[in-house]
Structure 1
Amino acid sequence: MAEGALFDLAGNVINVLGSFIAEEIKLALGVKTEIENLKSRVSTIQAVLLDAEKRSSQNDVIKNWLGKLKDVLHDADDVLDDFSTEVLRRKVMSGNKMTKEVRIFFSSENQPAFCNKMGHEIKAISERLNAIEKEMMAYDFSRSLVEPQVMNRADRETYSFVLKDEVFGREHDKKKIMERLFDDSGEENISIIPIVGIGGLGKTTLAQLVYNDEDVQTKFEIKLWVCISDIFDVQRIIKEIVEQLTKRQHEGGLEILQNKLREELNGKKYLIILDDLWNEDGNKWRRLINLLMVGSRGSRIVVTTRSTKVAEITGATSPHELEGLVLEKAWPLFVKMAFKGGKEPENQILVALGKQIVGKCIGVPLAIRTIGSLLYGKTNVIEWQSFLDVKLSKIAQQQNDISSTLKLSYDHLPSHLKQCFAYCRLFPKDFRIDVNTLINLWIAQDFIVLEDPRQRFVDIGREYFMELLWRSFFQDVEIDVLDNIKSCKMHDLMHDLAILVSGMESAILNSSGENVIEKVHHVSFDLVDSSSQFSIPVANKRKIRTILAASVGGKLGNLTCDALISNLNYLRTLDLSCLGLHVVPHSIGELSHLRYLDLPENRDIVVLPDSITKLLNLQTLKLYRCSSLKELPQGLKKLVNLRHLDVSACTKLTHMPLGLGHLTSLEILTWFVVRRGGSKASSYSWYKKKQAESGGGLSELKELGNLGGSLFIRKLGHGEDDMVECKATNMNQKQHLQELKLSWNEEWDDGETECYDEMSLEGLQPHPNLKALELNNYMGVRIPSWVSSLTNLVKLILDENER
């Protein structure tokens, strides 16, 4: 488990116990006493956890003690989740109100089997904690609930320097690479230029500088960027190149792909960047390079690698060896990261200490960024001197070992950010991480803590992400047209650090089952063989909380899917994206602790099982590009904790389920499909009634005041009834909504269509915070006056066809 995560886990257990005690539920006397005792015991232990976790790195006895404590706290968290889930189920059954029936559920006069079971389990956990508490007394821990302080977002002047990724001190390196790109004096038509250096020096950044240079844009017909990383698979690399060239997906074996490659590259001057090459097998390299030798004279292949041996295998005569920044070049980068406003301080003692600290970073930009951000805003000379003498002195002799330097920045994070970072170990190296997905994964594991009930989880999660981004735990961000961060990557060294700090808590598994893990809670996997019967090779599947299909190369059969999720009693996150599923098994409803269910791009799923409505804890349901899906379960309104519902590109979806408006926790609703009826609805009252029984109208949006992100309302009608429904949406109250897309039916009936459409659009007036508005198949002549009130609007699209 990531350092500091136990502190937060204990805090979560304390909060749940406190809510049970304060809840308007009359607990059985024995159960209430056990809950109060357990809360007191966990609070006592939590007070020493920060000190215990610090000392565990040098003391195996304390490390083992923390391991036992972790197991107990996880079990306590699971039992309490059982408890709260059953209470929630009773509330939903009785209309989501705390009725008398629910209040007496746990009373001493009415002790059902479930209550007795919970009482026994809580008592057993309390006894285990009692033994752990007795052991704790021998270690003489200091008691503190004060964590490292992280400046919040309001204290930052800007994050733009991270997003723009300003580069310092690489002008000379760029010039040298550019000279070799355009040097035609050699005998070879196609030459290879390796950039070699240790991790964190900025090899990829230098390659990006060259790749995006204006001269490169004009002098090469074709530019391609391929990230290679750990696995050197010639067919995969060629497939990616072909798909970049043709801008569409390609299937088939290497023979088909290489023919298409030659067709696209033959006789053309190209630049290909092969980033992060690790392959030391000369035969594999020759197989790849022989396929690429079809360009015209002047074509270039730039390779970035940490290994001089890899550079030699490429056959290049002289690699460009990237070195650390000299002090004169490194200092401006440190100043930008460490001092407010990016200005050198007047205090020359701080300047002198800062230059000594930069010297310890051996010119590695990634280390300079992380250490600089760690010291940001600190102006106390004694604090800087202590950091230099105590922290950095321990790693002074470890030249080229940047991981120790990076861990300093990790050590100074508060526990909630530590566990968020460590969780990213589940993504493969060089994986492009969708930021919204990452935040939802954090939410599912209870990593996101709201200080005020009026806050939205997605907003606090984004603040967590920005704090980590500012400290260079993430990089290579991708920005959308609304200036939001869409995705990011982790530097290889940061990924290695995530592996280190997550320990045995997380693992990436493969379909061969070779890497069996005994005490793992979070797993991701790669199906490399579509015929394999994949299973989780873990001794105790009950402990698994996360299953991610982060990198998938095969398909998962429906029977295998059912077997995969069996016995995963406490699973909270399940990602089965892009696995070719035809059916979601009915057994999914048994995963009562599930918070996150990801099923996108399973294009053969027609319906979801009704059992999915039993998942009362579900927060995120993603069905993106389930293009055969016709409807959502009618009982979806039972999912009272649902915050994120993604049905984008579910093109066969005919309507939204009745009662969607009850899901007032919804923060993201990507698509809303208006039930059919259109302008003829008033003439066919029987038809309208039938539709109402199965689908909800636009008025369902009225109470969904927390909606944010992008909302696409499809299949709007052109009639009078449609106009009335539009007014009932309360769109002007949805202050978090950034993008609104509206699409009307392509069919209309009479000359009043223009008038009705104009009034419908008038009724859909959004909040002034809206940044993007798109209208498709709008038959009105006028644009409503409220458009001028959208002072934050940066994107307006009018189109006769739905995008």
Structure 2
Amino acid sequence: MAEAVVYVVLQKIAASLGRDALKAIGSRLGKEASDLLEAENNMKQLEIEFRVMKAFLIQVTMCSSRNLAFDAWLDEVKRVSHDAEDVIDGYEYLLGQSTTQTQGCSSLKKLWRRSKHAGGWRSITEQLKQIEVRLSKLTSMRDRYGITISAEGEVSHTSQNGQLEHALDSTCINIEDEVVGIEKETSWLLQQLIHGQEERTIVSVCGMGGLGKTTLVRQVYKKDEIKQNFDCSAWISVSQSYNIEHLLRELLKQLQEKEKDIPHQVDTRDAASLVQTLTDFLQDKRYLIVLDDMWSRDAWVLLNHALGISKNGSRIIITTRNEDVASLADDEHGIQLKTLGKEEAWDLFCRKAFPRLEGKTCPQSLIYLAEKIVDKCEGLPLAIVAIGSLLMRKRLSENEWKCFYHQLDWQIVNNPELSSVRNALDLSINHLPGYLKNCFLYCGIFPEDYEIRRDELIRLWIAEGFIEERGPSITMEEVGNEYLNEIAQRSLLQVVQRDAHGMAQTLQMHDLVRDIVVSKCASGKFSLLLDNSRDAMHSREARRVSVLKADSIEDTLDGGEKIRSFILFDQYVSSSWVETATQNFRLLRVLSLQFAEITKLPDVVTTLFNLRYLDLSYTNLEVVPKALCKLRKLQMLDLMVTRVVELPPEIKKLTELRFLRTYVIHDYDGRIFDSYEGAKVYPGICLLKDMQELGPVEANKDIVMNLCNLALLRRLEIMKVKRRHIKELWASIARLAHLSHLFIMAYAKEEVLDLENLDPLPNLESFYLRGELQRGVIPTIFGSFGKLRDLRMGWSRLQADPIPSFAHMSHLVELHLYSIYEGWIMTFRAGWFPKLEKLHLADMEQLSCMEVESGTMPILNYMELIGLRSMLIVPAGFQNLTSLQKLALMDMPVEFISVVRGLACTKHIPLIVQGRH
């Protein structure tokens, strides 16, 4: 992971050297400016050194050298890189301190502070020189101990990748008879190979390491009916470090196994000659080729040309962990393997752990522990087989099994007998490019089974400096989305939930992957999880700390001055604990105190000049002090669900602020119009040019007129909007080219909003409108919402059925209507809402009848009905909603619930009854 550390150092150097603040500070320092200039020049030289180091590391770490000298040398590289990062962040801190402390000072104070800062710059310069010397010595040491790379980019010592991949492949073969739960997939794959079109077809089998992709394909590949269906076949492992000429030669040898006329000198031919030979040989053949363990699309260009596109019914199967590679498959010819269900996982475990017991059943005394162990495997077949096989040799003693379970995390990472599991998962992590490694390792700071929110994770990456800037036309958030998609495509994170736009909303890491990541983070000093008191003593070397249990920190954190991220997950901590734990922080970039029982900002926060991310959500914070505005690098300020009702005017000084969230919750209930509100802000907020997400904030004349200055704004939530604000507000909004999410809430339930004769917003993707509409009708502007995917409306007092007014919204995925309509019937016609997946209808007192035609909402999977007190009968045509998976009923008439439960068409639907009228 050394190249990942170097990558961060380079990012930070580039960011530091690009600061306009350098010139400003230099002009104020006078004679001491030369110290700053020297520090800057040393920084530039360091950047050159690290760029070369990064290039070298990318080459050598593509291979997994088991050479101890090389590993020790890499450890030193990481140590120097960490020290360099400390110096660079110290440099950033000094810049921030200089900027804030010399503004508004008397001449005498300025002179004193200049001299103080001059010493700081000289110290930085000396440290940079020492880093450069250490890098030079590392280079000499590398040469002295013969750590070199070949022309192919391999470490001079023998690479172990080939042996590792072979071992994994052998493991798959050995467990074939033990795999359960892939009967459907086996049948599907057989169908793809034997039946279907005559054109050459590419089939893909995708999933995370250890799911049994190779096992599934090999089971089918070995069947007699498959062998008889093709003229020739071949199985090659592409692997991470493939050689294209080797692949082509291996293909030729296997395909021509039964041929007498094998071309001479195959082993000496070049790639072009091998491609031509393969093309000629296969042009009239019906062939089956398996490309196993394919990591990237790079090899496909030549292979595709060599295999040709014939009409002989040929088939190519690709197994991969990467969804991007899996997309090479023809339409509807790809399958994504999932983890085993609980019953299948239990069955497989018992087969391996208790093969000698009658019926291969678990003894009653071990059931609890065995279930916990199986749960830890989370349906991963390779882990279940490996752990079950290991436990087979243990005595059937409750104490012995309990001891194993309590050290299961350690066993996964360290036990040689579980190396097949570790290596299968490790390969995916090690194959990540440097710019993704830090991002993925950062996911190890979250608790077990934690659902990671996409937006939160990307903002943390940005705050840490993991995301590169790619120019003015793309934001770092968009780059972060690309990073996250790539990690998910590599099957290292599983998508739990997608939003209305089809983007991953929450993600989760498999428990066993997390164990390996946490171990890597601790050994590489990347991060540390604190969940018991013994861990606190190691915090001196950790760069990031996440606190799962606050009582694991008995005093001020050791090494707090070097910590970059401090994230609190324990929801029950006092303000005194927070003050004590955080008082030594200096170079912090991320501080999350979510749920902490604090009423004021900890004293240390306003001195954290490197801070980018501050999460104070779900705390009892009452006031944002003016001094917070000294944190000029702050990008994210989360005040969601706090008691902060007003932000100071000085907030306009936070010129790098990108996200500001400010919810004040009273007693939150989505069915109450004013159960929450936004904070009061001053017009200066509209000077923050980098702002991308704002709100909710209170509307006033100055705010609504100046919102148009926030040119990068993507999401806006504005509350207490009065009728007189609408025209100016809409004029500002219409000028925001990037705005895609809009929330508008009226000043009060009785405030009537007139949205007629306004400019269209064709790029809007999400719209939430809460308030009464003029004349009780849907405004014509709704006709311009062609891209809308998420529509939420409430308290509109509509007199006519609103559904026809939304019928043109063919991209709509979610529709939420709360107390919107005062009529008695709603109609959903055939062909309407082709992409709608979720429908929420609530608190429409008069609504008693719904008509659901066949062909409407064809993919609707979730419906929620709340407080429809006049709805006594099931909607006509309800049986047409064949894709419905969940039905949630709350505060609905007893008669309605009884009838729904008795319908044949709802027998398969999990009925979620949360309350009754």
TM-score (structure 1 length as normaliser): 0.61
Alignment of 1:107-506 (within 5 A): 112-140=115-143, 170=181, 172=183, 324-328=215-219, 349=251, 355=290, 357=292, 369-370=320-321, 401-502=420-521, 503-506=524-527
Any conservation in 2 of the 1:327–1:359 contact (CA below 8 Å)? no
Judged with a 3 Å threshold, the aligned counterparts in structure 2 of structure 1 residues 716 and 776 are, in CA distance, closer, same or farther, namely same
What residue in structure 2 maps to residue 44 of structure 1? Answer: 49
**Shift in Å, 1:404:** 1.8
In structure 1, distance between residues paired with 2:735 and 2:328:
38
**Shift in Å, 1:789:** 2.4
| SS state at 1:504 partner | coil
| SS state at 2:772 partner | coil
In structure 2, distance between residues paired with 1:600 and 1:522:
20
| SS state at 1:481 partner | coil
Structure 2 residue corresponding to 1:738, chosen from 719, 737, 740? 740
Structure 1: which amino acid aligns with 2:422?
S
Any conservation in 2 of the 1:600–1:623 contact (CA below 8 Å)? yes
What residue in structure 2 maps to residue 620 of structure 1? Answer: 636
What residue in structure 1 maps to residue 801 of structure 2? Answer: none
**Shift in Å, 1:66:** 1.4
Kindly report the root-mean-square deviation, in angstroms, between the aligned alpha carbons of the 2 structures.
Answer: 4.5
Cα deviation, 1:520-565, whole Å, max 9, x if unaligned, reads 011111236xxx4945774321111111123x2x421112211222
Alignment of 1:57-72 (within 5 A): 58=67, 59=69, 60-72=71-83
What residue in structure 2 maps to residue 8 of structure 1? Answer: 7
Worse overlay, 127-136 or 540-549: 127-136
Structure 1: which amino acid aligns with 2:711?
G
Alignment of 1:683-694 (within 5 A): none
Structure 1 residue corresponding to 2:626, chosen from 580, 587, 610? 610
Judged with a 3 Å threshold, the aligned counterparts in structure 2 of structure 1 residues 57 and 565 are, in CA distance, closer, same or farther, namely farther
Structure 2 residue corresponding to 1:509, chosen from 524, 530, 554? 530
Cα deviation, 1:736-756, whole Å, max 9, x if unaligned, reads 3332222112265xxxx76xx
In structure 1, distance between residues paired with 2:554 and 2:476:
33
| SS state at 1:36 partner | helix
Any conservation in 2 of the 1:3–1:419 contact (CA below 8 Å)? no
What residue in structure 1 maps to residue 578 of structure 2? Answer: 561
Judged with a 3 Å threshold, the aligned counterparts in structure 2 of structure 1 residues 497 and 50 are, in CA distance, closer, same or farther, namely farther
- Runs (5+) with no aligned partner, structure 1: 95-100, 149-167, 177-197, 204-321, 340-344, 361-366, 379-396, 676-691
Cα deviation, 1:556-583, whole Å, max 9, x if unaligned, reads 1112211222110011111111123233
Any conservation in 1 of the 2:765–2:787 contact (CA below 8 Å)? yes
**Shift in Å, 1:643:** 0.8
In structure 2, distance between residues paired with 1:523 and 1:590:
19
What residue in structure 2 maps to residue 523 of structure 1? Answer: 545
What residue in structure 2 maps to residue 300 of structure 1? Answer: none
Structure 1: which amino acid aligns with 2:84?
L
What residue in structure 2 maps to residue 573 of structure 1? Answer: 590
What residue in structure 1 maps to residue 565 of structure 2? Answer: 546
In structure 2, distance between residues paired with 1:656 and 1:199:
47
In structure 2, distance between residues paired with 1:426 and 1:69:
23
What residue in structure 2 maps to residue 638 of structure 1? Answer: 653
Judged with a 3 Å threshold, the aligned counterparts in structure 2 of structure 1 residues 766 and 637 are, in CA distance, closer, same or farther, namely farther
Matched, 1:792 2:787: yes
Any conservation in 1 of the 2:16–2:92 contact (CA below 8 Å)? no
| SS state at 2:46 partner | helix
Structure 2: which amino acid aligns with 1:800?
W
Judged with a 3 Å threshold, the aligned counterparts in structure 2 of structure 1 residues 704 and 544 are, in CA distance, closer, same or farther, namely same
Matched, 1:663 2:688: yes
Taking only the aligned residue pairs, the percentage that are identical comes to 21
Any conservation in 2 of the 1:48–1:142 contact (CA below 8 Å)? no
| SS state at 1:713 partner | strand
Structure 2: which amino acid aligns with 1:68?
R
Any conservation in 2 of the 1:430–1:490 contact (CA below 8 Å)? yes
Cα deviation, 1:107-127, whole Å, max 9, x if unaligned, reads xx9954313421332223313
What residue in structure 1 maps to residue 96 of structure 2? Answer: 85
Any conservation in 1 of the 2:496–2:508 contact (CA below 8 Å)? yes
Any conservation in 1 of the 2:739–2:764 contact (CA below 8 Å)? yes
In structure 2, distance between residues paired with 1:416 and 1:524:
22
**Shift in Å, 1:51:** 3.3
Judged with a 3 Å threshold, the aligned counterparts in structure 2 of structure 1 residues 457 and 349 are, in CA distance, closer, same or farther, namely same
In structure 1, distance between residues paired with 2:553 and 2:785:
51
Judged with a 3 Å threshold, the aligned counterparts in structure 2 of structure 1 residues 575 and 785 are, in CA distance, closer, same or farther, namely same
Cα deviation, 1:685-717, whole Å, max 9, x if unaligned, reads xxxxxxx8xxx5222412112112x43221111
Any conservation in 2 of the 1:516–1:537 contact (CA below 8 Å)? no
User: How many equivalent pairs are there?
Assistant: 563
What residue in structure 2 maps to residue 307 of structure 1? Answer: none
What residue in structure 1 maps to residue 30 of structure 2? Answer: none
Cα deviation, 1:176-204, whole Å, max 9, x if unaligned, reads 9xxxxxxxxxxxxxxxxxxxxx996559x
**Shift in Å, 1:72:** 2.2
In structure 1, distance between residues paired with 2:57 and 2:552:
42
Cα deviation, 1:404-439, whole Å, max 9, x if unaligned, reads 233333333221101101111111221111111000
What residue in structure 2 maps to residue 19 of structure 1? Answer: 18
Any conservation in 2 of the 1:659–1:700 contact (CA below 8 Å)? no
| SS state at 2:56 partner | helix
Structure 2: which amino acid aligns with 1:794?
R
What residue in structure 2 maps to residue 702 of structure 1? Answer: 708
| SS state at 1:413 partner | coil
- Runs (5+) with no aligned partner, structure 2: 28-32, 155-178, 188-206, 227-234, 241-246, 256-287, 296-317, 330-415, 666-675, 797-816, 819-917
| SS state at 2:530 partner | strand
Structure 1: which amino acid aligns with 2:9?
A
Judged with a 3 Å threshold, the aligned counterparts in structure 2 of structure 1 residues 469 and 596 are, in CA distance, closer, same or farther, namely same
In structure 1, distance between residues paired with 2:787 and 2:324:
31
Cα deviation, 1:671-693, whole Å, max 9, x if unaligned, reads 12224xxxxxxxxxxxxxxxx8x
Any conservation in 1 of the 2:663–2:678 contact (CA below 8 Å)? no
Judged with a 3 Å threshold, the aligned counterparts in structure 2 of structure 1 residues 743 and 30 are, in CA distance, closer, same or farther, namely closer
In structure 2, distance between residues paired with 1:725 and 1:368:
56
In structure 2, distance between residues paired with 1:784 and 1:57:
69
Judged with a 3 Å threshold, the aligned counterparts in structure 2 of structure 1 residues 172 and 127 are, in CA distance, closer, same or farther, namely closer
In structure 2, distance between residues paired with 1:514 and 1:436:
29
Cα deviation, 1:302-350, whole Å, max 9, x if unaligned, reads xxxxxxxxxxxxxxxxxxxx99535256999x99x999xxxxx999939
| SS state at 1:133 partner | helix
